[in-house]
Structure 1
Amino acid sequence: MKGQRVAWQFFCLFGLVGLLESGLVFMVNYPTKRHFGETLLATVFSAPLVTYLIGGAIVIAGVATIMSYGVARRQHNQLTKRLAALTAGQMEAPILARQGQATTLLGADVADMLEALRQKMIRLQREIERYSNTPVLVAGETKEEILTQERHRLARELHDSVSQQLFAAMMMLSALRSVMSQQSPDDPQLKQLTTIEGVINEAQAEMRALLLHLRPTTLEGKSLRDGIIALLQELQTKIKIEISWELADVQLGAAIEDNLFRIVQELLSNTLRHAKAHSLEVYLKPVANHVVLRVIDDGVGFDPQTENTTGSYGLSNIQERAASLGGTAKVISFPNQGTSVEVRVPITKEVADD
Structure 2
Amino acid sequence: MSNIVKRHVGFGMLYSLLLLAGLAVLYIIDFPMDDWKDIWTKHESNVPFLVAAPLFVLFSGAILGLFSGLYWRKRWLQATREMESIREGQQPLKKRSFSLTELQQTWAELERLQTYMNEQAKLAQKLTNERVIDREEEVQRIVSEERNRLARELHDSVSQELFAASMLISALTESEEEETALFKALKQLEAMVQQSQLEMRALLLHLRPAALKGKTVQEGMELLLEDLRAKVPLSIDWELDTFPVEKGIEDQLFRIVQESVSNTLRHAKAESLSIKLLQRDSFIILLVADDGIGFEMGTEQPGAYGLQNMKERAAEIGAHLRVVSVPKQGTRLEVRVPMLDREEEEA
Q: TM-score, normalised by structure 2?
A: 0.55
Paired AA for residue 192 in structure 1: A
What residue number does 1:217 align with? 210
CA distance 1:145–1:261, shift in 2 (3 Å): farther
Q: Deviations over 1:285-327 (max 9, x none)?
A: 2233321111111222111222x13155831211111112222
What residue number does 1:164 align with? 160
What residue number does 1:263 align with? 256
Shift of 1:265: 0.3
1:152 aligned onto 2:144:
no
How many corresponding residue pairs? 215
Shift of 1:186: 7.3
1:202 aligned onto 2:209:
no
The structure whose Rg is larger is: 2
1:310 aligned onto 2:302:
yes
CA distance 1:142–1:286, shift in 2 (3 Å): farther
Structure 1 counterpart of 2:231, from 233, 238, 256: 238
Paired AA for residue 253 in structure 1: E
CA distance 1:311–1:322, shift in 2 (3 Å): closer
Structure 1 counterpart of 2:318, from 308, 311, 326: 326
Greater relative contact order (Cα < 8 A, sep 6+): 1
1:248 aligned onto 2:248:
no
Identity %: 48
CA distance 1:253–1:274, shift in 2 (3 Å): same
CA distance 1:190–1:279, shift in 2 (3 Å): closer
Shift of 1:342: 0.4
SS of alignment partner, residue 283 of structure 1: strand
CA distance in 2, matches of 1:247, 1:290: 14
Kept in 1: contact 2:295–2:301 (CA 8 A):
no
What residue number does 1:4 align with? none
SS of alignment partner, residue 138 of structure 1: helix
CA distance 1:250–1:137, shift in 2 (3 Å): farther
Q: Deviations over 1:42-73 (max 9, x none)?
A: xxxxxxxxxxxxxxxxxxxxxxxxxxxxxxxx
SS of alignment partner, residue 342 of structure 2: coil
Kept in 2: contact 1:274–1:313 (CA 8 A):
no
CA distance in 1, matches of 2:136, 2:319: 30
What residue number does 2:181 align with? 188
Unaligned 5+ residue runs, structure 2? 1-131
Shift of 1:252: 2.7
CA distance in 2, matches of 1:194, 1:231: 29
Kept in 2: contact 1:296–1:338 (CA 8 A):
yes
What residue number does 2:288 align with? 295
Shift of 1:250: 3.0
1:227 aligned onto 2:220:
yes
CA distance 1:138–1:217, shift in 2 (3 Å): farther
CA distance 1:239–1:345, shift in 2 (3 Å): same
User: RMSD in angstroms over aligned alpha carbons?
Assistant: 2.7
CA distance in 2, matches of 1:353, 1:296: 36
What residue number does 1:348 align with? 340
Q: Deviations over 1:112-164 (max 9, x none)?
A: xxxxxxxxxxxxxxxxxxxxxxxx95359577655543433222111001101
Shift of 1:328: 1.3
Kept in 2: contact 1:224–1:249 (CA 8 A):
no
SS of alignment partner, residue 319 of structure 1: helix
CA distance in 2, matches of 1:337, 1:313: 22
Bigger shift: residues 148-157 or 196-205: 148-157
CA distance 1:219–1:165, shift in 2 (3 Å): same
- Counting only pairs closer than 5 Å after superposition, residues 93-108 of structure 1 correspond to structure 2 as none
CA distance in 1, matches of 2:316, 2:281: 20
Unaligned 5+ residue runs, structure 1? 1-135
Kept in 2: contact 1:148–1:217 (CA 8 A):
no
Kept in 1: contact 2:218–2:240 (CA 8 A):
yes
